[in-house]
Amino acid sequence: MNIAILGLGTVGTGVAKIVEGADAMTKAADLHVSHVFVRPEKADASKRLTSDYDAILNDDDVDAVVEVLGGIEPAHSMILDALRHQKHVVTANKAVVARYMEEFVQTAKDNVVQFRFEASVAGGIPWITNLERTLRIDSINSFHGIFNGTSNFILDQMTKTGASFDSILKQAQDLGYAEADPSADIDGYDIENKLCISLDIAYDTLVHPGDNLPKFGIRTIQAQDIDFFKQQGWVVKLIGRSVRHGDHFSYVIEPMLCRAGSIEASISDNFNYASLHGDSIGELGFMGQGAGMLPTAHAVVQDLLDVKCSNEHLDRCFGKTLQLDNRSDEGTYWVRTSAAQFKELAKAWHPVEHDGYFKVEDIDAQSMHDLMKELLLIDANAFMARESGGVD
């Protein structure tokens, strides 16, 4: 099978590396990189490195296009063009998938080709594949996970060393784990894309980034917070989770207090963990590399092999109109703030002070996140975390 790779960044390079270095005994050896789409100044005289996308689209020998450009445009248009030219498309681009899932899936159907995006969520972990597989039998009742390796690295290092957020963030940037502008990782935007894609598949519905989805990151966490919670037997993790009740589902991204000794607490460094709960399978969790050149490229190549083997993709029409409802998702939160006004703001939930932290019980996620939005206007350094207890 001939493939064209759009973009020769980290993941694109990894895909070429795996395909071209494939052991002849493996299925990966059946793939061939016929074109790589690059910027005009990187194109060469051979047709292999080219900046002429029309040539790729009109080449009947190209069976599949791998989109690893990242970002919204031109990725969105180029994916649609490829599908309309009856090319299968595999992408690792979470932002564009989260935003245009329905359009891509429908266009692929209309053109009788496959659209696959395993690498867009949790990197090398076969999360989408196993989620779809579980759905062949079960309804998904809930899922949750550590979907961002950079923030997990920061929290893990803070927990292990006692160092400050700023010094560990700096270290993560030096290691190449975090961007110069780290907001996508530490404010939950990266997780939001991954959770939207997971939700679309898990519940056969459509949720888009920005659809008023509550997220609270780890930007304001301090070494003292890690230490305070540790003394109570908790480990802080940034968790995305969703629970379904009939036609309603909750969806929240927030720091959670996981019991020391729990599987979530054990996820170290920049690893990811994703777990689902199904009717008959019960709890099923997956741990692995959520990013990195080879693990992510591995997931892309797996998609290509599924295309090649004509393995069926789970049919999703996104027709279920589930209601987002974070009002019924109640729990216990801990808040650190220097703002004297917090007691007044949160008085409906009778916050109780313990060693400089407020414990707020029986509050729903929506109200808690709304409250924190108000609080951050007064105290930009405020932090909150939720007791796990009922992670799923």
CB of 66 to a second copy, least distance (A): 14
What are the φ/ψ torsions at residue 376 (nearest 5 degrees)? -65, -25
Contact yes or no for 135/307 (Cβ under 8 A):
no
Min separation Cβ 262 and a second copy, Å: 6
Closest to a second copy by CB, 80 or 281: 281
How many CB atoms are closer than 10 A to CB 183?
12
Closest to a second copy by CB, 311 vs 323, is: 311
Q: How far is the CB of 283 from a second copy (least distance, A)?
A: 6
Enter the tokens of residue 162.
């006692």
Report the b/e string of 295-309 with b at 16+ CB within 10 A: bbbbbbbbbbbbbbe
Burial class, 1, CB count within 10 angstroms (exposed 0-12 / middle 13-18 / buried 19+): middle
For residues 29 and 72, which CB has a smaller minimum distance to a second copy in the complex?
29
Q: Give the residue with the Cβ less far from a second copy, 17 or 343.
A: 17
Q: Collect all residues with Cβ–Cβ distance below 8 Å to 75 and sequence separation of at least 6.
A: 6, 67, 69, 91, 93, 96
CB of 17 to a second copy, least distance (A): 8
Other CB atoms within 10 A of residue 279 CB: 11
Contacts of range 291-295, beta carbons closer than 8 Å, 24 or more positions apart: 291/123, 291/149, 291/150, 292/123, 292/124, 293/10, 293/11, 293/13, 293/14, 293/17, 294/14, 294/17, 294/18, 294/124, 295/123, 295/124
CA distance 203 to 118: 17
Min. distance of Cβ 265 from a second copy in angstroms?
7
Binding site for a second copy (CB under 8 A): 14, 18, 22-23, 26-28, 124-126, 129-130, 133, 135-139, 260-263, 265-267, 271, 275, 278-289, 292, 294-295, 297-298, 301-302, 305, 309, 311-312
Task: Give the nearer residue to a second copy in terms of CB position, either 38 or 297.
Answer: 297
Distance, in Å, from the CA atom of 49 to the CA atom of 40, rounded to the nearest integer, reads 9
Q: Which amino acid type is present at position 76? A: H
**Which of residues 99 and 244 has its CB atom nearest to a second copy in the complex?**
244
Specify the residue for token string 């939930």. 349
Q: CB of 292: closest distance to a second copy in angstroms? A: 8
**Closer CB to a second copy, 188 or 295, in the complex:** 295
Q: In terms of CB distance, is 149 or 240 closer to a second copy?
A: 149
- Nearest distance in Å: CB 132, a second copy: 10
C-alpha 355/C-alpha 53 separation (Å) is 62
* 3-class state of residue 374 by DSSP: helix
Is 109 annotated as catalytic?
no
Set 87, 194, 215, 308: catalytic member: 194
Q: Where do the DSSP E strands lie in 85-183?
A: 88-91, 115-116, 140-146
Contact present, 250 and 326 (Cβ < 8 Å) = yes
Cβ at position 312, least distance to a second copy in Å: 5
- Active-site positions read 194
